[in-house]
């Protein structure tokens, strides 16, 4: 069967249970040449068994426009013709004519008609849960510091490696869901981690006992997940359907929220959800509606007045209407990406111009703003040029104030902004646009990549946080070098050779010398348990 998916041997994954209605041919975009079979028919014959009759994914990934947005059309065609190495996706060049392959490649990029549904019943039916054996000891199966563990997401073959952050040795490696995206989120004790996949799967994994505890499919196309500061709740942000889904810590669905205006007239994809632990709330950005949501998980949450209460049906136990109600902040522009200040009173949000659905809601150019979550108003414009990637920003003390440094997807620079005045204090040039930025309390340096640059994607720039000057570079000539994370003590910086035959490179954070290299399959991201659960200022949360 035609399957764009990877082998997931080793994990007992639950199967999604999508409605079994067949996708219709209405979405076909390319005319079918004489003598060719229709793409809808070919899909049902060769693809549906793995990718689902409605293209929502089964054991193979979803083949929806939303899921394929990031794959070039030529690559879709190539995979259909040649298959994908080291996966169960075989090539179909022998079975389909050139014209049929091309028509099928077009067809899977067009919307399914009618649009696939993924309601609360589907979510509940997708859940699997494996309770711990009653006599299982609550301690790691392995011998290393559980607080200096790294979780490394290897996108090349959809696996996760656990790395001992003292010895830099792999403790375990296991298959993940297809295409994880966003940082994994940890429970406050660092024992459990939640992974989110672009296809909507949330996996809860026990890092100590090395096994999947629970899985659920929150949506058909998901952005990311957040875990509450008390470890009791998990929230998922979806593009498809247009919902936010709330789960308890064992991934039982509590409720879904329609991402829509209060009057229900306009709906939106959800850009992202983050935990605002000191506020005991989740903060949600919407991509197509100019509103920022705050959803409190504090049972003592103040009531929401002023008529902005959205539906909240949590049953009898609700302490106040603020608890799991939606508190809306109206904005002028919707947000794609955001970041909190240290007090979590302010959201620093960015709007990117392209890819926006709602006509009229998008600015001509990228913009960024500061929103006060208590006053529920925008309080400043952020003077960031190009395309800020605020989710990767870091903060640190500088000359008596605190600054935010954020890489810029659009140009080769890091913007540094004073978080008291919201003014730019420096624009630090880098050799090309980058995605990620990292530092640690114990190092004077901040590291950033230029992975979006065709010529400088092999270069990491190291910036002195005291002078805001670039002071050094490390290079991996001709290969992509990106995404840094520090050890718990800040002594070592780990970076990814972001290639299929890539590696994790460990640098001494003082001398900048390489001390170790571990081969890995496109290690897209690495996450240190301690830095995450203590919300280190140098890393993403
Ligand atoms: Fe990401 C995190 C949005 C494309 C790899 N990315 C995030 C987060 C958001 C986001 C909002 C924070 C979520 C979280 O951690 O909970 N990413 C977007 C986009 O809007 C964008 C530009 C377009 C899209 O396709 O969605 C995008 N992201 C990418 C990629 O192409 C990357 C490089 C490769 C990939 O695997 O998809 C990519 N994004 C990542 C990674 C993180 C991430 C590795 C976690 C960073 C961290 O260290 O916390």
Rounded-to-integer distance, Cα 503 and Cα 163, Å: 13
pLDDT-derived band at 357, boundaries 50, 70, 90: very low
Length of the chain: 541
pLDDT-derived band at 389, boundaries 50, 70, 90: confident
Rounded-to-integer distance, Cα 277 and Cα 133, Å: 31
The answer on pLDDT for 190 being more than 90 is yes
Q: Which of 360-374, 382-396, 438-452 has the lowest mean pLDDT?
A: 360-374
Expressed in angstroms and rounded, the spacing between residue 103 Cα and the centre of ligand 1 is 30
Residue nearest atom 23 of ligand 1, based on CA coordinates: 70
312-337 tens-digit pLDDT = 444 434 445 578 989 999 998 899 88
Mean pLDDT confidence for 344-364? 64
369-387 tens-digit pLDDT = 999 999 999 999 887 766 7
Strand pairing report for 233-240 and 149-154: unpaired
Residue nearest atom 7 of ligand 1, based on CA coordinates: 182
**Number of H-type helices and E-type strands within the chain:** 7, 33
pLDDT-derived band at 528, boundaries 50, 70, 90: very high
Give the model's pLDDT for residue 420: 92
Give the model's pLDDT for residue 31: 57
CB 4 within 8 A of CB 61: yes
37-59 tens-digit pLDDT = 899 999 999 999 999 888 998 87
Expressed in angstroms and rounded, the spacing between residue 1 Cα and the centre of ligand 1 is 30
Ligand 1 pocket residue status of 107, Cβ below 6 Å: no
Give the model's pLDDT for residue 337: 84
Expressed in angstroms and rounded, the spacing between residue 389 Cα and the centre of ligand 1 is 9
Mean pLDDT confidence for 477-506? 97
Ligand 1 pocket residue status of 540, Cβ below 6 Å: yes
* Burial of 385 per CB tally in 10 Å (0-12, 13-18, 19+): middle
Task: Describe the strand order of the beta sheet including 211-217 as a list of residue ranges.
Answer: 128-129, 211-217, 201-206, 192-196, 185-186
pLDDT-derived band at 302, boundaries 50, 70, 90: confident
243/5: higher pLDDT? 243
248-285 tens-digit pLDDT = 999 999 999 999 998 899 999 999 999 999 999 999 99
- Substitution candidate for ligand 1 out of 176, 351, 391 with most atoms within 8 A of CB: 391
Residue nearest atom 13 of ligand 1, based on CA coordinates: 182
- Substitution candidate for ligand 1 out of 75, 181, 240 with most atoms within 8 A of CB: 181
How far is the CA of 353 from the CAs of 237, 335, 336, 363, 397, in angstroms? Answer: 20, 10, 10, 6, 31
Mean pLDDT confidence for 100-111? 92
- Substitution candidate for ligand 1 out of 70, 182, 282, 388 with most atoms within 8 A of CB: 182
- Strand blocks (E) in 228-290: 233-240, 243-248, 253-258, 270-276, 281-286
Measured from the Cα of 180, ligand 1's closest atom is: 36
């Amino acid at each position: 069967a035609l399957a764009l998916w990877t082998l997931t041997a080793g994990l007992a994954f639950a199967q999604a249970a999508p409605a079994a209605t067949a996708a219709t041919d209405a979405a076909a975009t390319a005319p079918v040449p004489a003598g060719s079979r229709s793409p809808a028919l070919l899909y049902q014959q060769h693809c549906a068994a793995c990718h689902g009759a409605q293209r929502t994914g089964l054991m193979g990934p979803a083949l929806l426009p939303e899921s394929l947005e990031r794959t070039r059309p030529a690559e879709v065609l190539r995979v259909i013709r040649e298959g994908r190495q080291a996966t169960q996706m075989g090539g179909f060049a022998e079975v389909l004519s050139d014209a049929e392959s091309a028509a099928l490649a077009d067809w899977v990029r067009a919307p399914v008609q009618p649009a696939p549904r993924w309601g609360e019943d589907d979510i509940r039916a997708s859940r699997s849960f494996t309770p711990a054996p009653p006599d299982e000891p609550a301690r790691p199966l392995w011998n290393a510091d559980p607080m200096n563990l790294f979780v490394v997401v290897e996108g090349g073959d959809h696996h996760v490696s656990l790395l001992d952050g003292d010895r830099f040795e792999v403790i375990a490696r296991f298959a993940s869901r297809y295409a994880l995206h966003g940082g994994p989120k940890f429970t406050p004790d660092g024992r459990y981690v939640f992974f989110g996949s672009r296809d909507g799967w949330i996996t809860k994994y026990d890092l100590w006992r090395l096994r999947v505890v629970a899985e659920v499919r929150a949506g058909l196309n998901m952005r990311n997940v957040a875990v509450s500061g008390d470890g009791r709740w998990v929230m998922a942000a979806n593009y498809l359907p247009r919902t936010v889904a709330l789960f308890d810590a064992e991934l039982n669905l509590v409720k879904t929220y329609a991402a829509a205006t209060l009057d229900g007239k306009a709906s939106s994809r959800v850009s992202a959800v983050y935990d605002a632990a000191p506020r005991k709330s989740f903060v949600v950005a919407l991509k197509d509606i100019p509103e920022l949501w705050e959803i409190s998980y504090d049972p003592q949450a103040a009531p929401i007045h002023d008529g902005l209460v959205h539906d909240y049906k949590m049953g009898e136990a609700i302490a106040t209407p603020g608890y799991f109600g939606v508190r809306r902040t109206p904005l002028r522009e919707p947000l794609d990406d955001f970041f909190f200040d240290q007090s979590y009173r302010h959201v620093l949000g960015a709007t990117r111009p392209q890819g926006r659905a709602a006509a009229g809601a998008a600015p001509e150019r990228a913009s960024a703003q500061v929103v006060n979550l208590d006053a529920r108003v925008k309080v400043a414009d952020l003077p960031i040029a190009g395309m800020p990637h605020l989710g990767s920003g870091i903060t640190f003390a500088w000359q008596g104030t605190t600054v935010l440094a954020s890489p810029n997807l659009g140009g080769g620079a890091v913007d540094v902004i004073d978080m008291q005045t919201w003014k730019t204090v420096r624009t630090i040039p880098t050799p090309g646009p980058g995605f990620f930025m990292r530092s640690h309390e114990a190092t004077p340096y901040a590291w950033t990549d230029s992975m979006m640059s065709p010529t400088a994607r092999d270069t990491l720039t190291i910036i002195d946080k005291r002078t805001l000057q670039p002071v050094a570079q490390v290079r991996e000539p001709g290969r992509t070098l990106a995404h840094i994370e520090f050890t718990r003590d800040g002594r070592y910086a780990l970076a990814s050779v972001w290639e299929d035959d890539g590696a994790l490179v460990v640098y001494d954070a003082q001398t900048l010398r390489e001390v170790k290299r571990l081969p890995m399959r496109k290690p897209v991201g690495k996450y240190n348990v301690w830095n995450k659960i203590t919300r280190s200022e140098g890393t993403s949360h």
